[in-house]
A and B are shown apart, each in its own frame.
Chain A
Amino acid sequence: MVPTAHYLVLSAILFGIGVIGVLTRRNVITMLMCIELMLNAVNLAFMAFSRHLDQIDGQIFVFFVMTVAAAEAAVGLALIVVLSRRKQTLDVDEVNEMKW
């Protein structure tokens, strides 16, 4: 059986990739995907703990996270559609009018 620690390391790596992606990429869709990656990294950690502790709570939590992720993707993609229509771009750095 794979030890729990391995799952957690994998989860951390996935989360790190997500973070770096969000921080470094300028394409909105890529950033959204990186956020999904971070959410799923967390899901993985939940599952690992659920198995490790032999409790169902973590699995239930995963369902919630997935629901939220789906909702977030729906809203986020809708925003992206509007953004691309208005600005003809997907580069977040070009959407920087909301500042001092």
Chain B
Amino acid sequence: MTYSVMIVLFPLLGSFVIGVFGRKFPKRLIAGIACLTVGLSFAASCLVLRQLLLLPPTERELTYRLFNWIESGPVTIDAAFLVDPLSAVMVLVVTGVGFLIHVYSVAYMAEEPGYYRFFSYLNLFIFMMTVLVLADNYLLMFVGWEGVGLCSYLLIGFYIDRKSAGDAAKKAFIVNRIGDAGFILGTFLIFRTFGTFNYQQVFERVSELFPSPEVGFGIVSAICLLLFVGATGKSAQIPLYVWLPDAMEGPTPVSALIHAATMVTAGVYMVARSAALFSRAPETLLIVAVIGIATAVLAACIAVVQTDIKRVLAYSTVSQLGYMFLAAGVGAFGSGIFHVVTHAFFKALLFLGSGSIILALHHEQDLFRMGGLKKYLPITFWTMWVATLAISGVPPLAGFFSKDAILWNAFSLGHVVLWIIGVAVAGLTAFYMFRLMFLAFYGEEAAPGSEHNEQGNHRPHEPSLLITGPLMILAVFSALAGFLGLPGYLGTNLLETFLEPSFRYRYFGEHAAAHAYSLEIVLTVIAILAAAAGIAVAYYAYIRDRGLPGRLAQRFQGLYLAARQKFYVDEIYDAILVRPIQRISDVFLWRVIDEGLIDGIVNGTGELMQYWGSALRRIQSGYTRGYATWILIGALLLFIYYYLVTV
């Protein structure tokens, strides 16, 4: 049981040591400490998983109470860690992918100033993320929730000499705060309704109070909606997704770890953790599903026309997160977590691969200035292929199984429209990912490569093993992780069976009519065909006929420009939210409230005192006899007073 504490404490220790003493450490030592602590944390996670697996499925729940955190009247809140299948899976992904990305960062960040700062933040992030995942109550989860937000902010703004990085960091922080306000209100409402923050107790009470789902929009729906507002912030869903693409200002390993594999899935984890609540709030669930699929479509459309390699991947992440919320929204929480896991592998791999390209091209991120890289970066090339096939849903790679599980659940639970859109998004996904691959690795060598050739020895070359190693390991997982969740017609879904006890308090409706496997297979084939269509279009447009994209862009100029400008969402937010707030702040809050009212009260108090003082100080004349007269008057007044009182 104490393994769970070790998972959390090692990264904290690493972060503390590096952060406080790291300035004077040699880089090797910093890298060693950072990787070792996360590695130990990962080892502890594996031991925790082993512990769980040794128990019978129904008893797989270990709580370790660290200390009594808040005690106030009848309220007792413990700092306690809960290890159950759900948190075990999440913590394995967080520490496992986190470890690989730490190793990768050792080489990637080698030339950057602020090495120790980077690793201190990165370790702190792992600490906060494990707290978030392992917490056994909503309040402790909120601590982790805010903590990862802080680390995200610090790491997006890591390049402190770049204004754009600072702006992106602030944007991420502020947008996340909006979501967090919803989350904390949701937890307050949970406390008001159920009298506790503890998961176990909340879920028990909600299953007693609501044996069947709520009709209409009641308290449970309100709680879930508020929690989901928090999730839209952290997991970049409409309407709060705008911070994630900008977050690409951070170093690439950060994008891989925080803004693709782990932190952004916290919202999905939170919704899955609260399955007992969400499954009783059909109204909110529908909102979750619709927001999820809408985000998936919107982000995929934007990803198609982006030219910055990291921004393509960022929008792809937003889109994939949409899939996860679609899963949660149709009630398939297990499938959502399955996609979290597979996505963590292949998206981390894609980001790390793009980081390898960026490094090789000396920080060139424009896809149209790449090209022909396959012969220079063979390992990056092949591992990126694995990830691309995985995310595109090509069997039998990981993404195929998890995406298909989500789509099948959407269909079989009666959301046919959502299924159709989901399949379309699968096609789009395949298209933009193959576009990325074709532009980066195929075709003639574009500007940067040839420039370097002219200069002679500056050809892009494969980076060190520290970078390619994690790529290869992640490629293996991206290829094989899908077999954890085989669909019904191929075998058993190990992952979802393992997760099932974590969702035992959820409401199990009348099961959807049992569909034949043949239907599932047909639907799967349709999804594969959609992906194949996307791949074919990408091949035609970016390999065979490279003029086609330009012509299409001309033909549908309005749509193209709108997508290119991210559908003007940032501009709209700017016009309807940011500027009015700034104007109100400037004209009203600053000039009227602050300068007029607050300064008026403060200065007025002072002036009043001065006025009285200048009047009263005349009494102090300096003449001794004057003082004696005052004493006499005082004595006489006392005398008169006592005389009047006694008589």
Contacts and interface: CB of A to CB of B under 8 A. Distances in A.
B622 A23 contact: no
Interface in A4-49: 19, 22-24, 26, 31
Contact of B625 (A93, A98, A100): A93
A22 B618 contact: no
B620 interface: yes
Contacts of B624: 31, 92-93, 95-96
B629 interface: yes
A23 B623 contact: no
A1 B640 CA distance: 32
A87 to B, nearest CB: 13
A97 B628 CA distance: 17
Contacts of A26: 625
B617 A100 contact: yes
Nearest to B618: A100
Interface of chain B, helix or strand or loop or mixed?
Answer: helix
8 contacts: A22-B625, A23-B629, A24-B625, A93-B623, A93-B624, A96-B622, A98-B622, A99-B620
Interface in B228-268: none
B447 interface: no
B605 interface: no
B632 interface: yes
Interface string B604-647: 00000000000001101111110011001000000000000000
Contacts of B628: 22-23
Interface residues of B, number: 11
B472 to A, nearest CB: 86
A3 to B, nearest CB: 23
Nearest to A28: B624
Contacts of A93: 623-625
A92 B623 contact: yes
Contact of A97 (B618, B622, B629, B632): B622
A27 to B, nearest CB: 11
Given A22-B628, A23-B629, A100 B623 contact: no
A48 to B, nearest CB: 19
Nearest to B631: A22
Nearest to A92: B624
Contacts of B618: 100
A23 B632 CA distance: 9
B621 A92 contact: no
Contacts of A96: 621-624
Given A22-B625, A92-B623, A96-B623, 13 more contacts: A23-B625, A23-B628, A23-B629, A23-B632, A24-B625, A31-B624, A92-B625, A93-B623, A93-B625, A95-B624, A97-B622, A98-B620, A98-B622
A19 B617 contact: no
A8 B574 CA distance: 90
B118 to A, nearest CB: 63
Interface in A70-100: 92-93, 95-100
Pick the 4 closest A-B CB pairs, nearest first.
A99-B622, A96-B622, A100-B617, A92-B624
A31 B623 CA distance: 13
